[in-house]
Amino acid sequence: MPRRELSPLMAEFLVDLGGRDAVRRWAGAAVSDPHCDAIAKANALLLLSRAGGGRLAAPAQLAGRQLRAGT
């Protein structure tokens, strides 16, 4: 099954289901991981915005990364 970007509605559902703190931890780790693919990073950024943001444990290394899905 192909992976896709989350919709805003699905992101809200995941934040409610998983809890803000757990979602922030996962999303922060995904954004900071240089080996994480573009779809996961885009989903992580959306989840961070829906979960109230917060600071990342480490600066995100997004320079030169393609964050648009399907490319």
Q: pLDDT tens, 18-54?
A: 999 999 999 988 888 888 888 989 999 999 988 886 5
Q: Under a CB-based contact definition with an 8 Å cutoff, are residues 59 and 31 in contact?
A: no
State the average pLDDT over residues 56-64.
Answer: 61
Q: Is the pLDDT of residue 7 over 70?
A: yes
Model confidence pTM above 0.85 = no
DSSP class per residue in 23-38? HHHHHHHHHH-TTS-H
In angstroms, the CA 16 to CA 40 distance is 19
Pick the more confident residue, 18 or 62.
Answer: 18
Instruction: Please say if the pLDDT value at position 55 is more than 60.
Output: no
Q: How far is CA 68 from the centre of its chain?
A: 13
- Residue ranges of alpha helices (H) inside 1-71 are 8-18, 20-32, 38-50
pLDDT-derived band of residue 60, with 50, 70 and 90 as boundaries? low
- Return d(Cα 3, Cα 13) in angstroms, integer: 18
